[in-house]
Structure 1
Amino acid sequence: MAFKNFRIGVIGRTLLICTTIACWMYLLLHTQYYISGILIVAVTIFLVINLIRYVEHTNEKLSRFLNSIRYSDFSSSFRDQGLGTSFKNLNSAFSKVINEFKKERLQKHENYRYLQTIVQHIGIGLISFDQQGEVELINTAAKRLFNIPTLRNIDDLEDIDTKLYETIIRLRSGQRSLARISVQNEPLQLALSATEFRMRDNNYKLVSFQNIHTELEEKEMEAWQNLTQVLAHEIMNSITPIASLSETIHTLLKKNLSTQNGAYRIDHESFSDVKDALETIHTRSHGLIRFVNSYRDFTQIPDPNFQVFSIKKLLQHIKSLHKGEAENHDVSINICTDPDSLEVTADPDLIEQVLINLTKNAFRALKNTGNACITLIGGLDEHGKPIIKVKDNGDGIKAENYRKIFIPFYSTEKATSEGGSGIGLSLSRQIMRKHNGTLTVSSKDNLGTTFTLRF
C-alpha cells in the first residue's frame, strides 16, 4: 500500500484496521459467516504488523545513525523521500551530524599526520614505552642515534649500553640526566629528559635524547682556552720580573764584582741593588707558589658532608665573622630570612666558605660607595626550594667582565693580601655543583649585584 506522506500512511493504516475490526464485529454479531470473520482477523493482524513496521522505520534509522557513529562508519546516507516534512528534517539533521563527524575525523587524521611528521623529522631522539617496556614510539632521530632499524622493547637498549638503560629506567617525570655511551666506537654524550603520561588506561614514559658531544667539546675547548690565557697571564706576571731581575743581578755582579786577597768584593751601591732584586724575586716566587696552591685547592674540593642546618643561624655567623671589616669600611650588613625556621641539607662548612667568598667580593665592590650595604637573604624560590642571596648596592659588574667572573683565576683587580686572586667565585661555583645546586649572578649598572645559591 503506497502513501505519499508518513502521516497519511499512519492514518490510512489505522482507519483500515478500525474498518476491518468493525467488519469482524458485524459478521460475528449479525451473521454466521465464520470463515469470512477468520479471514478478516488475519487481514487485521497483517495490517497491525504493517503499521508497527511502518512506525518503527524511524527507530531503525536512529539505530543505524548511532551505529555509524559507534563504528566510525560515516559512509551512510539518510535520504528517504516522500515521508513528509518531519522525516525530511530528521534526515537533514542526521546528514549534518554525519558530515560534522567526517570533518572532525579528517581534521584529527591531518593533525595526527602533522604530529607524526614533526616527531619523525625532529633532530632530538624520542622513545615512548609503557609499563611493560613495550615501545609505542621511536622516531628517526633515535634510530640514527643508536644505529638500530627498530626497537620493540626498551629492554633491548641494554644490549647497546647497560648504564644508558639503567639511567632511562631510573628517570622520573621532569628529571634530567647525562649519559656517556659509545655506539660502534663513536662516543656520544647524551642529555636525557623524561616525562610520564597516562593514555588508554595505561602509563607511558616519554624519553628524549640529545647528543651534546660536539657542543661539550666546543665548550671544553673554550674553557681550556680561557683557563690557559689566565694561567699564562698570572705565570708571566711572576716569571717576567724574576727573569728580568736575574739578568740585572748577573749584569751587576759581572761589572762590579772584584776579587781581593782571594775574597769577592762589591761596592755598597751594587750590593744594595742586588739585595733589593733578591727580595723582589723572593716576593714574586712566593706569589707564584700561592698561585699554584690556589690551583691545587680549586682541583681538590672535598665531597660535601651533608647535614640539616638553619640558614638564619648560618647568615648570622657570616655577619659576625665580618663585623670588624664592616665597621672599618662603614658597611652595614642586614639579614632577611623567610621563614625564620628555614633549613637546608648541605655541608655547612663548604657553604660557609662560599658565603665568605661572596661577602668579601661584596666588600670589594662597595669601595667608594655611599650608604654601603650588604644584604644576606634566605628564602624559597618559585618551586619551593631553598635559596640564599648575597646582595650589595655597589656599582654592579661591568659588561665586559660579566661572562668571565666565574673563569678560574680571572679577576677584575690585581691580587692583594685581601683577596682578588680570581679563585673565589670559581671555587664557590664548584662547591655548589658538588651540592647538585647552582650559583648564579645578576647585576645592573649602579643598582648593585646579587649572587644566588640554589639548592
Structure 2
Amino acid sequence: MGCRWIYSMPVRTLLLIVGVALITLGITEGKSILWVVGVISCVASVLVFRKMQQQLREKSWLMLEAIRNRDYSFRLPVAGFSGGERVLQDTLNRFGGLMSEQKQLMEQRERFYEQILSSVTSGIIVLDEDMKVVQTNPAAARLLGLPVLSTLQQLDRYGTEVPHVFRTLGAGERCNIQFSTSKGEVQLLVRASVMQLGDRTVRILALNDIRNELDAKELDSWIKLTRVLTHEIMNSIAPISSLSETFLKRSDVIGTPLYDGIRAIHETSTGLISFVDSYRKFSSLQKPSPEPFYLLDLLHQVEGLTLVPENIALTLQIEPAELMLYADPNLIRQVLINLIKNAVQAIGGHKGRIHVRAYSSADEHVFVYVSNDGPAIPEAEAEQIFVPFFTTRSEGSGIGLSLSRQIMKLSGGTISLLRSGTNGWNTTFVLEFE
C-alpha cells in the first residue's frame, strides 16, 4: 500500500526526465557516471510503466472473469492512486455497480414471468433444438395428466401421435390432439412458435383445453334451448289442462261419453306439464352458495338415504378422512345421488359393488371417483350421456347427468366418464374440483 506512489504518473514522468537530463549532461561533460545513472533512471521509468500495464491487464482479466461468472460484486481500490489510474479504477467500480443492478433487475423479471406462467390456465412448454424440455409451467403438466413434465418421453404412454406432434409442429402451426388419461378424455389445441434465445433456437408450445370450452358452449346452448321450449310448451299446455279440469267438474259432462275423452286429455296434459317441469330444473338451477364441508360427512348423508339395496356393496375411500371441499353441499349431494342411482340401476338385481374414492392432488385439486362393476356403457352411448334428454331407459328423463354437469360447471369443476376398465372398474365417473 505504501509503495503505490511509485507507479503514479508524476513519478514515472520525473524518472524519465531526470534520466534524459543525466544522460545529456554525462555525454556533454564526459562524465560516465552521470549518463549511467541517467540510463538507470530511464530504465526504471520503463519498468515502472510495464509494471503498471501488467497490473492493469491483471485487473481487467479479473474483472472479465467475474463478469463471465456473473459476479458483479468486485470492487477495485482507489486509495493510493491518482490521476488517470484513479479515474480508471473508479470507472471499473461504477461499471460493476451498473452490472449488479442489471442482474438484480433481470432476476426480478424472471421471477415476475415465472409467476405469470404459474398463474395462466394455458400450458406452456419450451423445447430446445435437441427437443429437451427447457421450461414448462404447472398448467402444462395438469393438461397432460402428469405430476411433472421433464421429458417428452413421458408422453409415450399416450401413443406416438402426441410426442410426434410436439416434436414436428412448425412455427405458426396449430394442431388438435386427443388422448385418454386416468382423469378422462383430453382434447388440446397445440400452437407452436419459434424464437432466438441467445445463441439457441427454442420452440414454444402453447396448450389449451378446448374440450371443456366446447362442453361449456354446448351446455349453454342446451340451457337456452330448454328455456325456450319449456316456456312455449307450458304456455300451450297450461290452458288445456285447466279447461279440461273445469269440464270434468261440470254436471252435463259427468256420466256422458265426453267424460272419458276429456279425462284422457286432462291426464295427458298434466303429465306433460310434470314432464316439462322436470326439464325446467335443468335451466333454472339456483346459484351455488359455497361453503367448506367434509366430503366424508356428505357421503355418509347420502349413504343414509338407503339408495343402495342389499345386493350391492357401497364402499368409501376418502384420503384423508378429513378431506374438505369448498362448494355448495346441497348441489354436490344431488350430483352424488344421481351417480349412485345410475350405478344402482346399471347393476340391477345382480350382486355388485359401488366404490367412491376421493383424494387431493399436489396442485390442491380434489378428485372424486364414483365407480361400479355393472355392465359397461357402450361407446356410442358414452358419447351422448351428458346430452340433455338423452336416456337409454324407457322411464328415464335424461336429466340426471346433464344436470350434474351443469352443477359441476357452476361449482367451478368438471365431470367426466372414464374409459371402461380404468382402475379395474367397468364404469367410472370422476368429479374434479379446482
TM-score range, shorter chain: 0.3 to 0.5
- After TM superposition, the score normalised by the length of structure 2 is 0.47
- After TM superposition, the score normalised by the length of structure 1 is 0.46
For CA contacts below 8 A with separation 6 or more, give which structure has more relative contact order.
2
